């Protein structure tokens, strides 16, 4: 049986909102298969976390077995715990306001439906080399966005 793909993803933002960057790296076993990063202006860290996962999942051409690894509790708890609650409340939080970033969450749901996806949280800056490397890629992307805005 083939090992699952490991999709490490991270987002970064200089200010909140501010110029931001996202990045992902795809590993299979000890082999790095691909990486990508991107930027957005006037965004938030949460949006960049979601964008990294979306773009990473979209990079797989067909149904795949994927473990999405992130240090974002927002991303991981959203996908593993909160989505059923948000759906049941018509995309509203428990105290009434609309869920932020609904369009991105829906894009993420669509991207994940094509695959067998598991969501795994890792503590940020905890010496997980793959997560540290994708964190650096996202920070470089955010810096690139900041320079472009200047």
pLDDT in tens, 30-48: 899 999 999 999 999 999 9
Question: CA-CA distances (angstroms) from residue 105 to 4, 50, 87, 128, 142?
Answer: 23, 7, 11, 26, 21
In this predicted structure, what is the pLDDT of residue 110? 96
Q: What mean pLDDT do residues 6-27 have?
A: 96
| Domain parsing of the chain, residue ranges | 5-149
Higher pLDDT: 58 or 124? It is: 58
Q: Taking the complete model, does pTM exceed 0.85, yes or no?
A: yes
**Spatial CA neighbour of 69 closest among 141, 117, 102, 106:** 117
Q: What mean pLDDT do residues 13-29 have?
A: 95
pLDDT at 1 over 70: no
How many Cα atoms are found within 13 Å in the side-chain-facing hemisphere of 122?
20
Q: How confident is the model at residue 127 (pLDDT cuts 50, 70, 90)?
A: confident
Q: How confident is the model at residue 142 (pLDDT cuts 50, 70, 90)?
A: very high
In this predicted structure, what is the pLDDT of residue 53? 98
Catalytic residue annotation: 10-11, 49, 71, 125, 135
What superfamily in CATH does domain 5-149 come from?
Ribonuclease H-like superfamily/Ribonuclease H (3.30.420.10)
């Amino acid at each position: 049986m083939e090992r699952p793909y490991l999709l490490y993803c991270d987002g970064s933002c200089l200010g909140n909102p501010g110029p931001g960057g996202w990045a992902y790296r795809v590993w299979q076993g000890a082999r790095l298969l691909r990486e990508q990063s991107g930027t957005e202006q006037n965004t938030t860290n949460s949006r960049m976390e979601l964008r990294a996962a979306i773009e990473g999942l979209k990079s797989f051409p067909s149904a795949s077995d994927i473990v999405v690894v992130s240090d974002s509790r927002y991303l991981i708890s959203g996908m593993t715990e909160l989505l059923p609650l948000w759906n049941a409340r018509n995309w509203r939080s428990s105290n009434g306001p609309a869920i932020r970033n609904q369009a991105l969450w829906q894009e993420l749901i669509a991207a994940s439906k094509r695959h067998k996806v598991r969501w795994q949280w890792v503590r940020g800056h905890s010496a997980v080399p793959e997560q540290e490397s994708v964190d650096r890629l996202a920070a470089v992307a955010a810096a690139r966005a900041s320079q472009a805005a200047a």
